[in-house]
Amino acid sequence: MHPLAAVPLATVPADLLAAAQAAFDHAYAPYSGFRVGAALRGADGGIDAGANVENASYGLSRCAEQSAIQALATRGERAFTEVVVVADADPPATPCGACRQVLAEFGPTATVWLVSPHGAWRTSVDVLLPAGFVLLR
Ligand code: THU
């Protein structure tokens, strides 16, 4: 089964989409030119956003999803239920392999919404990362 289900844009949570789009607008991606914004809904209902922040030393660049997870954890939250990722890509930008592992730490079954000017899609962290690495049960 294909891991991404196309959905109407109207089904994407509007508050998370707005936060992810604002982060997308603030992305720092002068090297790749590929901006990404992400916004998570914490288990407490709070929203944490992140953008990709690149660096002249390319390997130090940080993905949007990981920036958002850092914000979530920094305010003491340890779980999220859903995440919206915004990028201008067709096919849509799915979280990279490293981001899937980082998302799974705090949202192993979270819903993942992917949005681009070309459409919206729904999937989940466990579908994107089956059998991810786990130490704590
Ligand atoms: N990027 C993200 O922010 N999230 C992903 O899941 C995939 C890739 C960023 C990293 C880099 O700044 C740019 O997109 C191009 O790879």
**Measured distance CA(118)–CA(92) in Å, rounded:** 8
**pLDDT tens profile 34-48:** 999 999 999 999 999
pTM above 0.95, yes or no: yes
Rounded to the nearest whole angstrom, what is the distance from the C-alpha of residue 50 to the centroid of ligand 1? 12
Q: Catalytic pick from 54, 65, 77, 82?
A: 65
Rounded to the nearest whole angstrom, what is the distance from the C-alpha of residue 9 to the centroid of ligand 1? 22
**pLDDT tens profile 79-130:** 999 999 999 999 999 999 999 999 999 999 999 999 999 999 999 999 999 9
Structural domains of the chain, with CATH: 5-128 (3.40.140.10)
Give per-residue burial for 101-137: e unless 16+ CB within 10 Å, then b: ebbbbbbeebbbbbbbeeebbbbbbbbbbeebeeeee
Q: Whose alpha carbon is nearest atom 9 of ligand 1?
A: 63
Our answer to whether residue 54 is catalytic in this structure is no
